[in-house]
Amino acid sequence: MQSIQEIKSGFGREDVRLVAVSKTKPVEEILEIYNQGQRIFGENRALELEEKARKLPSDIQWHMIGHLQRNKVKNVVPHVDMIHSIDSIRLAAEVNKQAKRIDRVIPCLLQIKIAKEESKYGFDLQQLLDWLGTGQWKDMAHIEFAGVMGMASFVPDMGIVREEFRYLKQCFDELQSRIFRDYASFREISMGMSGDYQVAIEEGSTMVRIGTLIFGERNTHQG
């Protein structure tokens, strides 16, 4: 386990933000990291995020980083500062609907499938370009499209991981130039976790999602 400052000192760029992946971790452990100055925490289950947001300090910025089911959107919209995992048009529509209901505008990242693994969620780039090209997304006034997110393959070969991160950066560049050129809010590239965040930063990440290095080993490999 490393301190927040130790991890951040290795980023090498000022514009990279750290999302401390606190899923499955108790309130007491999150408070320890909070007391090191960390304010952005990532959860992958809607109900867990909702519960922790009610118990922990109000200046924590909660990021939903896991797959979000449409029927759970209403649980997170009052609490979340960013949703990383918009992986379908129907999910985007539901987030917009629920955010409108409570008069919020929620920054969201478009999740693009960059890994070869079947288990990963996300848009295909062409599918995303086709939808965005219709302009229908502009009617979603309660979503701020803030960038892209991707999850690399869980493999030991960093060459494969680097290629996938590089592809996500290319997707971001294409979306920014073709669709979001006039939107300053479209600036985030969320990629990189405990085992590969340094490669992700080298390839252009602006936001890394780190759990294991901060909290210790866990049972899943998503952090």
Query: Which pLDDT score, from 0 to 100, does residue 1 have?
Result: 85
27 inside domain: yes
Element (H, E) at 189: strand 188-190
220 inside domain: no
The rounded distance, in Å, linking the Cα atoms of 67 and 64 is 8
The rounded distance, in Å, linking the Cα atoms of 70 and 55 is 24
Query: Which pLDDT score, from 0 to 100, does residue 221 have?
Result: 42
Please write the tens of the pLDDT for every residue from 169-203.
999 999 999 999 999 999 999 999 999 999 999 99
223 inside domain: no
Residues contacting residue 49 through CB under 8 Å, at least 6 positions apart: 43, 62, 64, 75, 76, 79, 80
Domain with residue 50: its CATH number is 3.20.20.10
28 inside domain: yes
Query: Which pLDDT score, from 0 to 100, does residue 181 have?
Result: 97
Please write the tens of the pLDDT for every residue from 134-153.
999 999 999 999 999 999 99
Q: Which domain holds residue 30?
A: 4-215
Per-residue confidence at 217, pLDDT binned at 50, 70, 90? confident
State the total domains in the chain: 1
Query: Which pLDDT score, from 0 to 100, does residue 220 have?
Result: 45
222 inside domain: no
91 inside domain: yes
Query: Which pLDDT score, from 0 to 100, does residue 117 have?
Result: 75
Please write the tens of the pLDDT for every residue from 62-96.
999 999 999 999 999 999 999 999 999 999 999 99
Please write the tens of the pLDDT for every residue from 121-131.
899 999 999 99
201 inside domain: yes
Is 116's pLDDT higher than 90? no
Query: Which pLDDT score, from 0 to 100, does residue 49 have?
Result: 98
Please write the tens of the pLDDT for every residue from 11-48.
999 999 999 999 999 999 999 999 999 999 999 999 99
